[in-house]
Amino acid sequence: MPLILPGNVGSATAATGFNVANSCRFDSASSADLRISDYSGAGTSRKTRTYSMWIKRSELSYAVIFGSAGKDHWVFTADHKIQINIGSGTDSRRITDMVFRDVSAWYHIVFAYDTTQGTAANRFTMWVNGAVATTSIVAGKNEVAEDEEALVFINGDTHTIGSDEDSASYCDCYMAEWVFVDGQKLDADSFGEYDSDSGIWKPKDVSGITLGTNGFYLNFADSSDLGIDAGNDNDFEPTNLTATDQTTDTCTNNFSTWNPLACAMQNVANNVTFSEGNLKAVGTSGGEGTLLSTIAVNSGKWYAEFKMIDVADGNFSQVALLDEEGAVKTSGGTGATVSVGNVTVKPNGDLFINETRSAGWGPTFTDNDIIQIAADLDNGAFYFGKNGTYSNSGNPTSGASKTGAAYAFTASSKLWFFAGGLNGTGSAVEANFGSPSFTISSGNTDGDGYGNFEYAVPSGYYSLNTKNLAEYG
């Protein structure tokens, strides 16, 4: 199960260097993509070009990353590889040996070619996180031909990022630092570098790169227009993308989401549908579904909010904290069905600690209420709140006294997940670990300025992201 653990912050942290502020969240349920059809010509070169992007997957299914209808395009295949289709004359198609199925990780993908090269091996190169990736010719297809011309980001055809205009195969993912260089074959180190301290591949400032006539640089800095080209005049038109799709979940600060692979692990994958970059979870059958954060913590103080979307009609959504033993329980479900390491509040106000029930411990909650969780792992205390007020007169900043804690325990190295549970069709909960998919009216951050929360973050608590994990986890 892809998971970010303390001391394993993946490709999303660096003590120094260039910081990527924003990404764009693409959601297939919204038919979201970026489109451009303003090119009037072939650009600088159709034979020499480079594409670079950072991407974090949400849904692991066939999806188009970018392309043009019936022409060049990149796709995630059904078996989680990347396939690249180039040109139309020779029908060249290559596919990666490696798979991309970690929903907690950001990948840096660079693809460059120069078809003027006489040697076939020199015409095409792909890098993943700074390392050359092995690719093979798709069965029945061909090598990139000498002088093969690209059919994407040229002339007046409609080109898309996040979908294929022709097939409408939308991509569920986050993308950041999208660069197309028209007329140069560049190496991966034009866009990234290895951190001298951690050895992790990280992005570089690309603002000085010569993009060429049809080149562009999308940094998603303007939430009112996510398709603005920050390096050239080749702007894209956002389709079904709103200001909430600009996120701070990036390749330099990776935020937690729900982990859809946890449902598969607990044999309840068919009971839950994920959307909005794995932040919204909806029950799709009468069975239960367990939700787990992609980041687990064993020390520090952490804060998150959960918007209850559908709690009525006999179905219900609940939120919880689940320890490492409860997280790997494979019988499925949450609440009373999970007998280890489970601290849950339910819509009727009941508190469950494992299978021990405290009836009416907290207030009831219903649709659109925001439930707060403050987890103090240094002192061993969990606090639950509703719409800005902590239950049981809880005080998350009380330290060792653990005033009003829903659960008080002896601090240890045990891993804990922020968790949720769904029961029944239509039950739904939307997580906010600091980079929300729903509108926030107040705009509160943690003490380091990270996150976007509806209610004030308790002093000394932090949003669940890799920068905070590296410093406080």
Q: Given the DSSP bridges, would you call strands 381-386 and 407-408 parallel, antiparallel or unpaired?
A: antiparallel
Q: Which of 297, 268, 281, 270 is nearest to 420 (CA)?
A: 281
- The model carries a pTM of 0.93
CA–CA gap between residue 62 and residue 346 (Å, rounded): 36
Q: Which of 439, 420, 436, 423 is nearest to 344 (CA)?
A: 420
Is it the case that residue 338 has pLDDT exceeding 70? no
CATH architecture of 23-247: Sandwich (2.60)
Place of tokens 């926030």: 440
Question: Where are the alpha helices (H) located in 323-435, listed in sequence order?
Answer: 324-327
Q: Which of 85, 83, 84, 78 is nearest to 101 (CA)?
A: 78
Is it the case that residue 379 has pLDDT exceeding 70? yes
Look at the alpha carbons of 325, 328, 331, 337 in this order and tell me if their dihedral is positive or negative: positive
Q: What is the pLDDT of residue 384?
A: 97
Note the pLDDT tens digit of each residue in 278-317: 999 998 876 677 899 999 999 999 999 999 987 765 567 8
In this prediction, what percent of the chain has a pLDDT beyond 70? 89
Q: Where are the domains of the chain?
A: 23-247, 260-472
Q: What is the pLDDT of residue 7?
A: 45
Note the pLDDT tens digit of each residue in 20-71: 999 999 999 999 999 999 898 999 999 999 999 999 999 999 999 998 876 7
Note the pLDDT tens digit of each residue in 322-332: 988 777 654 44
Note the pLDDT tens digit of each residue in 10-22: 444 444 579 999 9
**CATH class given for the domain over 260-472:** mainly beta
Average pLDDT, the chain: 89
Cα distances (Å, whole numbers) of residue 280 to 154, 262, 324, 369, 469: 37, 15, 23, 15, 23
pLDDT confidence band for 268 (50 / 70 / 90): low
Fold agreement (23-247, 260-472):
yes
Whether 342 and 327 have beta carbons less than 8 Å apart is answered as no
DSSP codes of every residue in 301-332: EEEEEEEEEE--TT-EEEEEEEEHHHHT--S-
In the numeric block, which tokens belong to residue 316?
Answer: 């219900």
Is it the case that residue 422 has pLDDT exceeding 90? no
Q: What is the pLDDT of residue 308?
A: 92
- Other residues' Cβ atoms within 10 Å of the Cβ of residue 118: 8
In this prediction, what percent of the chain has a pLDDT beyond 90? 70
Helix (H, G, I), strand (E, B) or coil at 127: strand
